[in-house]
Structure 1
Amino acid sequence: MHVEALTRICPPPHPGRSVNWPAVEQQLRLALPADYKQLVETYGGGVFADSLRLLEPDGADDMYDLVAQTAERAEILDDLWEAGEPKPSELLDGDIRLVPWGLKEDAGHFLYWQARPDQEPEEWTVLLNEGRGPLWEAHPLSCSRFLFEVVAGTSTSTYFCDLDASVTSEGRYRFRPNSQIFSG
């Protein structure tokens, strides 16, 4: 897991938070990856590198709440696919769920786990949807590794590989917690 490496380049500004994970997983009817739980417990919800927001359970705003967004995104995607938008090939075989865990600030790009029933949560692939269109990217990485690569500037994602053009060097290695963002 890459949480420890992430804390070295992007120190958490405060303790994360305690979460009742069994209750969250019961609401989702799904076990969550251990590295995601560690990220939330270390950082809480908020924004990394002025660009990638980590969703958290029981967030202050439904837009950034893991459980609320899981339900909302499932409904939105079902409506899009019923309206004729093509489903990504990664979702065509089996009973796969998409569970959102992050989003790109100001762009509408959601990051999902491709939750396959035949895989452990730590084996799930990260899928990114551009949000305002039909393009998807698959990254066979854990969410902590994907996040580490975004902050470190080594991401191969089309949507995060050019952060240096839009993020200051100070912002690149900063985490802003939701508590700070929502308070003013």
Structure 2
Amino acid sequence: MANALPRLLEIAPAPSRPRHKDWGEVEGILAVGLPDDYKELIGLYGGSHWDDYLYVLEPDCPNRHYDLLKWAEYQFDDLEDLWTVEKKPAELETEGAVVIPWATTDNGECLYWLVLPGVEPNEWTVMVNEVRGPRWEHHSVSCTQFLASALTGELRSDILSSLFPLATHQFRRLGAV
């Protein structure tokens, strides 16, 4: 998957203070590596809110509501319960396939990486799930490609709000609450 971080920097210049993470610790907790473009995204933007709608989750985010590690833990349990009453999307029927959340929205939709056995993190694609229903979308792009393409309107989702993106992009780094 291509890293679209240069496109994001054109859309919204990054804050001047980069964030540093102990990715070894984070990946140890998750028991899986994470895509390089995501690590670079967090290093530049941190946990962030885009166009008053989409939140990028960050491990140990200053705003505890958008902590990637907590979201991953809760989403795994919630989805396991969901699969007992709802059909899994076809992409998750492969033995060992899982999803890991990397973003959410004001409405509660969740954006995930599709993690398939034998597929390296830099090749993970994006799944989008509606908040109160069984609809899922699969997009064969990296998380930075998804974010950049959604912000420029090149990528459209039938699940995400029709009000996203804004005509004039807005970005803010998430702080403590």
Task: Flag whether TM exceeds 0.5 (same fold).
Answer: yes
Give, as a single letter, the amino acid of the residue that structure 1 aligns with 2:88: K
Other structure's SS at 1:163 match: coil
Q: Percent identity?
A: 38
- Aligned match of 1:50: 52
Matched, 1:7 2:3: no
For these two proteins, the number of residue pairs brought into alignment is: 175
Query: Counterparts of 1:63 and 1:75 in 2: how far apart (Å)?
Result: 17
Give, as a single letter, the amino acid of the residue that structure 1 aligns with 2:4: H
Distance 1:153 1:163, change over 3 A: farther
- For 1:7-86, what aligned pairs fall within 5 Å after superposition? 7-82=9-84, 84-86=85-87
Q: How far off is 1:45 after superposition?
A: 0.3
- Assess if the C-alpha contact under 8 Å between 1:13 and 1:175 holds in 2: no
Moved more, 149-158 or 2-11: 149-158
> Over aligned residues, Cα RMSD in angstroms?
1.6
- For 1:89-108, what aligned pairs fall within 5 Å after superposition? 89-105=90-106, 107-108=107-108
- Aligned match of 1:178: 174
List per-residue Cα deviations over 1:12-53 (Å, max 9, x = no partner): 234231000000000000000000000000100011122111
Give, as a single letter, the amino acid of the residue that structure 1 aligns with 2:171: F
Other structure's SS at 2:24 match: helix
Query: Counterparts of 1:93 and 1:17 in 2: how far apart (Å)?
Result: 36
Q: What stretches of structure 2 of length at least 5 have no aligned partner?
A: none
Query: Counterparts of 2:15 and 2:36 in 1: how far apart (Å)?
Result: 21
- Aligned match of 2:117: 117
Query: Counterparts of 1:90 and 1:8 in 2: how far apart (Å)?
Result: 32
Other structure's SS at 2:104 match: strand
Q: What stretches of structure 1 of length at least 5 have no aligned partner?
A: none
Q: How far off is 1:136 after superposition?
A: 0.2
Q: How far off is 1:161 after superposition?
A: 7.2
- Assess if the C-alpha contact under 8 Å between 2:7 and 2:148 holds in 1: yes
Q: How far off is 1:162 after superposition?
A: 3.0
Other structure's SS at 1:37 match: helix
Give, as a single letter, the amino acid of the residue that structure 2 aligns with 1:136: W
- Assess if the C-alpha contact under 8 Å between 1:62 and 1:69 holds in 2: no
Other structure's SS at 1:176 match: strand
- Assess if the C-alpha contact under 8 Å between 1:45 and 1:59 holds in 2: yes
- Aligned match of 2:163: 163
